[in-house]
Amino acid sequence: MTKKIKIKRISGLISLFVIIIIALSGCDFFYDLIDFFDNNDQYTLLPLEEYYKEAEGLDGDQLSDFLTELIGSNVKGLSYAEAKSALAEADCDPNDPTKVITIYSRDRVNAKWDSTSWHREHVWPNSRLGVRRVGESEINQASDLHNLRAIVPRVNSSRGNKVFSNETAADTYYPGDEDKGDVARILFYMVIRYPELSLVNEVLPNDPETNYTPEGAKMAVLSCLLMWHQEDPPDDFERKRNEVIYKWQNNRNPFIDHPEFVAMIFGD
């Protein structure tokens, strides 16, 4: 008698579970859940090229430490002034070599540097890099080509040093659907290349007291960056840009070459 009661209760629970699943299948939540798991499984392990061959079998902190060593070795540092010429090539419009494609607004402007058509955008803002405002002759994390993009001056002013999030507000900036994945992978590169930097999940208001200091060397919002990396995968423009910077600077952004490294280091 007791065994029958137990079986009946289990059967009832199973029926209830089936009913819940059927109910959920008719609502957006169910499909969003399916999409979430599908999206987080889109980056499969790719064969490792010669550049990354020593990453075989590594994961988590081991992979992170290896990449820090790899992309920090034998780098040909360029000055902030030299970045003007490099970006004219790296951000070149594939359909018109006389133009560059600017970040966030996607405007096409004259590629040749004239100081007015475009400026050099620090995707990880200079004021949040833990170093002083970069000078034209300086070579440091503020002149790293992977972190610099051509940008229309008016857009540069509106972005300021805001952190990235899903909306543009007083302390946050949304980079746009076409650039959000690029932005995420740039920031992932920066935090691996320069371990003194950190990515956090809370919104960081502008703080004049910590700008240009090691205490202020943080960027956000990490959860948004992880989501954008899934929603906006590397495209031909981003891959070509990575090749051009490799030619100039002799290091690569691993998260463009191997998008699966993001989940292996930062999680889903």
Amino acid 51: pLDDT: 96
Instruction: Single out the residue of 251, 255, 218, 253 nearest to residue 78, CA to CA.
Output: 251
Q: What DSSP letter does each residue of 206-265 carry, written as one string? A: --TTTTTSGGG-EE--HHHHHHHHHHS---HHHHHHHHHHHHHHS---HHHH-TTHHHHH
Is there a cis peptide before residue 123, judged by omega within 30 degrees of 0? no
Quick one: pLDDT band at residue 39, thresholds 50, 70, 90?
A: very low
Q: What DSSP letter does each residue of 1-36 carry, written as one string? A: -HHHHHHHHHHHHHHHHHHHHHHHHTSHHHHHHHHH
The SS3 call for residue 125 is: coil
Contacts of 194 (CB under 8 A, 6+ apart): 129, 141
Q: Classify residue 48 by burial, with Cβ atoms within 10 Å: 0-12, 13-18, 19+.
A: middle
Residue keyed to tokens 């930097």: 197
Give residue-wise pLDDT tens across range 42-70: 788 889 999 999 999 999 999 999 999 99
Amino acid 38: pLDDT: 42
Q: Tell me the C-alpha distance between 176 and 223, whole Å.
A: 16
Question: 5 versus 143: which is more confidently predicted?
Answer: 143
Mean pLDDT of 191-211: 98
Amino acid 268: pLDDT: 65
Q: Can you read off the two tokens belonging to residue 230?
A: 């899934």
Residue keyed to tokens 């360029």: 78
Give residue-wise pLDDT tens across range 66-118: 999 999 999 999 999 999 999 999 999 999 999 999 999 999 999 999 999 99
Q: Tell me the C-alpha distance between 183 and 173, whole Å.
A: 11
